Amino acid sequence: MSRILVTGGMGFIGQHAVKALEDAGHELLLVTRKQIEAKTSGAFLYGDLLKEGEPERIVKEARAEYLLHLAWETEHGHFWNAESNYLWKKQSINLVTSFWEQGGHRAVCAGSCAEYDWSAETSESPLDEFHSPLLPGTVYGQCKVDCFRTLESLSDLTHSLAWGRVFLLYGRGESGTRFVPSIITSLLDDCDAKMSSGSQVRDFLDSRDVGRAFAALTISEVQGAVNISSGAGVQLIDVAEMIGELIGKSELIKPRAFPDRAGEPLNLVGGNQRLTDEVGFVPEYSLKRGLSDVIKYWQDTITQNE
């Protein structure tokens, strides 16, 4: 089995990727900025990836064959145009290139659907890795694209690179201000669940499946960009109404309470043929099952806080 260095291993996606890799018997080294208690058999390497020289020190100490790099700026509502994206780009490039220089073979990094052109003409059909243009509208998306292009230009058969472009995800532990938990918590509090028109079509995948997909991609031989997506679109109003039916409070769903955000695409769906056909990954959780689990999580959280 392989020795794998993981950044962001305790995060929303990372915790599930770590579990899948551990279950497969791999030896893991998790990078963290501070000492934490986590349910993992992996060892920890302490360091701050954003500090000068730290990526180089960490990979030298790790002596890993594989690298799964999931860490980046993720603060909800802030990360889209945060200046820290530029530093994350620089340090991520340093991390991967140093990893290769130290003898590491395969690096897998988290990209984003925000790298694609979201114009109406382009996003009318599912976005794919080979034909859909990369034309991000945010600093976050641009820094991800720049990072990908730089690393791809340096990769080869000896220095392998895969880039998982994540579409929309949801799951236990998600920030309460995001779409799915905001609908759930409003209904559990017997409040109106206010939302936009809900006509937007999005590609949702349970965070557990996203983590498992990254684990599968890591130990595969697939190179280049791979969409981490369900391959199917669903309107936001349908997601909200499914939550309403599961909780039994559909009458509190209030579409068109807010205007749709200017500039956001009507459709945002990722083709997932590479993920299913080449990586061989099949999602485990249906949208209904995943939402049921998230509702249970928020019910338990609210009860504990009372």
Could you report the per-residue pLDDT of 241-274, keeping only the tens digit for each? Answer: 999 999 999 999 999 999 999 889 999 999 999 9
Confidence band for 306, pLDDT divided at 50, 70 and 90: confident
Angle between helices 179-188 and 287-305 (to 10 degrees): 50
User: Would residue 195 count as lying in a domain?
Assistant: no
Question: Structure tokens of 115?
Answer: 């790298």
What average pLDDT does the chain have? 95
User: Would residue 249 count as lying in a domain?
Assistant: no
User: Would residue 243 count as lying in a domain?
Assistant: no
Proportion of the chain above pLDDT 90, given as a percent:
91
> Do 222 and 204 contact (CB within 8 A), yes or no?
no
User: Would residue 209 count as lying in a domain?
Assistant: yes
- Structural domain of residue 13, as residue ranges? 3-171+205-230+269-284
Residue 199 has a pLDDT of: 97
Phi, psi at 283, each rounded to 5°: -60, 145
Residues 65 and 85: their CA atoms lie apart, in Å, by 27
Q: What's the rounded mean pLDDT across residues 223-238?
A: 98
Question: Structure tokens of 251?
Answer: 């009458």
Q: What's the rounded mean pLDDT across residues 160-189?
A: 96
Residue 51 has a pLDDT of: 97
Q: What's the rounded mean pLDDT across residues 60-85?
A: 92
Angle between helices 139-154 and 84-101 (to 10 degrees): 20
Whether residue 42 is predicted with pLDDT greater than 80 in this model: the reply is no
Q: What's the rounded mean pLDDT across residues 156-168?
A: 97
* Residue pLDDT, tens place only, 3-29: 999 999 999 999 999 999 999 999 999
User: Would residue 104 count as lying in a domain?
Assistant: yes
The CATH number covering residue 45 comes to: 3.40.50.720
User: Would residue 128 count as lying in a domain?
Assistant: yes
Q: Is 100 helix (H, G, I), strand (E, B) or coil?
A: helix
Decide: residue 14, CB within 10 A, 0-12 exposed, 13-18 middle, 19+ buried. Answer: buried
* Residue pLDDT, tens place only, 265-300: 999 999 999 999 999 999 999 999 999 999 999 999
Residue 29 has a pLDDT of: 97
Residues 210 and 165: their CA atoms lie apart, in Å, by 10
Residue 39 has a pLDDT of: 63
Question: Structure tokens of 175?
Answer: 């920030």
Confidence band for 78, pLDDT divided at 50, 70 and 90: confident
Residues 245 and 242: their CA atoms lie apart, in Å, by 5
User: Would residue 157 count as lying in a domain?
Assistant: yes
Residue 294 has a pLDDT of: 98
> Which neighbouring-strand residues pair with 112?
166
Residue 41 has a pLDDT of: 64
User: Would residue 149 count as lying in a domain?
Assistant: yes
Of the candidates 60, 64, 69, the residue with the CA atom closest to the CA atom of residue 27: 64
**Least confident segment among 40-49, 207-216, 244-253:** 40-49
Residue 150 has a pLDDT of: 98
Residue 36 has a pLDDT of: 66
Whether residue 37 is predicted with pLDDT greater than 90 in this model: the reply is no
Residue 93 has a pLDDT of: 98
Confidence band for 151, pLDDT divided at 50, 70 and 90: very high
How many CA atoms within 13 Å lie on the side-chain side of 5?
A: 33
**Domain count across the chain:** 1
* Residue pLDDT, tens place only, 97-144: 999 999 999 999 999 999 999 999 999 999 999 999 999 999 999 999
Q: How far is CA 115 from the centre of its chain?
A: 13
Confidence band for 45, pLDDT divided at 50, 70 and 90: very high
